[in-house]
Amino acid sequence: MVRQRLDRERLAIVRLDPADGARHPCEAAVLRGDVLQQRRRRPRQQAIQDLPLDQRRQELISARADRDRAKTALDRANLDLEFTEVRAPIAGRISNARVTAGNLVLGGSAANTTLLTTIVSLNPLYCYVDVDEASALRYRQLHREGRRTSAIYSRIPAEMGLGDQPGFPHRGEVDFVDNQVNPATGTIRARAVFPNPDNLMAPGFFARVRIPGTGEYEAVLIRDSAISSDQGRLFVLTVDDQGTTRYRAVRSGPIVEGLRVIREGLATNDRVVVSGLMTARPGLKVQAQPVPMATNQPAAVAAP
């Protein structure tokens, strides 16, 4: 885009030079008229003496006009020569040639301009997403409360997954947010940039993008299978110091590294029942066996 802008500026200058060169003959004509007026006011002898000097002035102006016209013609020829070689303003992967040697092509910016080929940038890769208005308002409110930085003011992390990829394996950043909401769709466009060193991702692929929905906070991670539902309310069973199971209502979040985020309802020292849930119930005495949360070993067994 930068090169195209420079080429347009140079072409405009070349088109301006003939008009500027045409100014010199006009100046010469004006000078001749001024000289004639001055001669009429001078004594005859002085006018005859100044005649060679006036003629030299007119010849100088005419010579400058001829020089400028020749320079303009040379600049146009050099520009036409440069236009015979097409250079891409970006690095990337080029498509097939739409026109072969010997065919007639049309240039310029008209609708019937001949398309030679296309080129796309591959590394980095830009992913455009349309964010709904409700989410955009929530993110901006979090920025006002100081709980999350808005992508309007600084880059924020982003994760991306393609159609055949589980999760979001690609890491990048959101580097652009549009300046207005589209009233027809109720969305605002944002752009995330992702590295693509192997060039295997290509423009046009469908992708899923995830960005931080809240600010940083401390949370407990448990197995998703340990969460039960009671008339739409999520809860887990915990084991207290006396070995008795207790009912705990929780508010869950997303899954991180295979474990469910519990935003509210659990403390870091709570012991959560992760197996034997079909027979376990609140107020039951159990023998707790602590195991890592990421394993499938028994964590609580009913007492005999």
Query: pLDDT tens track of the chain, all 304 residues?
Result: 434 444 555 555 555 555 455 555 655 555 555 555 555 555 554 545 555 666 666 666 677 777 777 777 777 777 776 766 777 777 888 888 888 877 787 776 667 788 888 888 888 889 998 988 988 888 888 888 887 788 888 888 888 888 888 888 899 999 888 889 999 999 999 999 999 888 888 888 888 888 887 767 777 888 888 888 888 788 888 888 887 888 888 888 877 777 888 888 888 888 888 877 777 778 778 777 777 776 544 444 444 4
CA 41 – CA 71 distance, rounded (Å): 39
Q: What is the dihedral of CA 73, 78, 81, 87, to 10 degrees?
A: -140
Query: Could you give the C-alpha distances from 82 to 2, 69, 87, 154, 283, in angstroms and in order?
Result: 16, 20, 10, 41, 86
Tell me what pLDDT residue 9 has: 53
Residue listed under structure tokens 């589980």: 166
CB-based burial label for 204 (10 Å; 0-12, 13-18, 19+):
exposed
Tell me what pLDDT residue 50 has: 54
Provide the whole-model pTM: 0.54
> How are beta strands 251-256 and 220-222 bridged, if at all?
unpaired
The torsion angles phi and psi of 61, rounded to 5 degrees, stand at -65, -40
Tell me what pLDDT residue 2 has: 37
* Token digits of residue 163: 């159609």
The torsion angles phi and psi of 80, rounded to 5 degrees, stand at -60, -35
Question: Could you tell me if 247 and 232 are in contact, meaning their C-beta atoms sit under 8 angstroms apart?
Answer: no
> How are beta strands 300-302 and 286-288 bridged, if at all?
antiparallel
CA 116 – CA 96 distance, rounded (Å): 9
Tell me what pLDDT residue 147 has: 78
> How are beta strands 251-256 and 259-264 bridged, if at all?
antiparallel
CA 152 – CA 188 distance, rounded (Å): 12
